[in-house]
A = this chain, B = another copy of it.
């Protein structure tokens, strides 16, 4: 089985976007606030909305996508904590329904109701609800301020209550920022990649996994700038009496393969151990076009993983499937449950 661990629901039906508009309009004019029950999306609409993903799975040869709400749509910095909570629950419910409707194609990852300056403790109720619904992980935003980075670094005790619950529930966190309200940062071109690089450097600065040996973080987009600057990060770690990066990553930190050209995947697979790499494409996502040089979609990352000379067949099996089942401890049972039709 080929598992793509990084897919966002970027093809939402129009009524969801209209609901969100009304919800945010309701902040300015309470008369416009919609009731949650107003969102009326049928099962048929949901299945229709993910046809692009199903088509790409088939064409590219992947089987299952670990699927979460649109990353830029989380927008934790927008509105109030209350609107954000409602928005998270609704977004997660749609993911749950899609995974129930298409149990062979999708497994669910959730959005947390984070809010800038608000304790991550407040996410625990939703996290527990997601665990009961069969979600295998969540997206954890290291910058709920959307490009202003006003919350504490990931190694700060600020985050510990959430980490305790993630460990208890065996939920895996992808460290993923949302949209940027800072004009300095283009969201998919700068903010996402900076978020990855920043998170990794924060993990070098502390010893978080001593306190949480079973906590698992996926840093997407190939780990941001880290593999390209592997020597720099190794050097900074060693200069600061921290261990080698492979030791820091260990059983806790994983990069995905959302790197959209062959030389990038070649570098990633050269410097990062195969045990710490997970197959992913982020489709339908940040880059939708076809590379005029190759005639293939930029985000058809399976080609690059297949095409790299750095991986043995055993390495590829890990990257395409084995690591995902290890890194997401709830995934195997969820796949089986979904196959039995009782997701």
Chain A interface residues (CB < 8 Å from chain B): 142-143, 147-149, 151-153, 182-186, 188-190, 193-194, 197-198, 201-202, 204-205, 221-222, 224-225, 227-236, 238-239, 259-261, 263-264, 266-268, 270-271, 286-289, 291-292, 298-299
Contact = CB atoms under 8 A, between A and B. Distances in A.
A265 to B, nearest CB: 9
So how many copies of this chain end up in the complex? 2
B185 A149 contact: yes
Contacts of A238: 289, 292
A119 to B, nearest CB: 17
A263 B266 CA distance: 9
A229 B222 contact: yes
A271 B263 contact: yes
Contacts of A225: 193-194, 197, 224-225, 228
A291 B232 contact: no
Given A190-B201, A287-B239, A230 B184 contact: no
Contacts of A182: 149
A205 B184 contact: no
Contact of A230 (B194, B221, B264, B271): B264
B197 A287 contact: no
A267 to B, nearest CB: 5
Task: With a 10 A CB-CB cut-off, give which of A183, A229, A287 has the most chain B CB atoms.
Answer: A229
B288 A232 contact: no
A56 B110 CA distance: 52
A147 to B, nearest CB: 7
A266 B194 CA distance: 22
Contact of A231 (B227, B233, B260): B260
Given A267-B267, A287-B236, A229 B193 contact: yes
A322 B261 CA distance: 29
26 contacts: A149-B182, A184-B198, A185-B198, A186-B201, A186-B205, A189-B205, A189-B232, A193-B197, A193-B225, A194-B197, A221-B229, A225-B228, A228-B228, A228-B267, A230-B263, A231-B287, A232-B260, A234-B261, A234-B291, A234-B298, A235-B289, A235-B298, A238-B292, A239-B288, A261-B271, A263-B270
Given A264-B267, A271-B263, A222 B231 contact: no
A120 to B, nearest CB: 15
A10 to B, nearest CB: 13
A231 B264 contact: yes
Q: Which 10 A-B pairs have CB atoms at the shortest separation, nearest pair first?
A: A231-B261, A231-B260, A235-B287, A225-B225, A228-B228, A235-B298, A189-B201, A149-B184, A194-B194, A190-B201
Contacts of A230: 261, 263-264
A231 B259 contact: yes
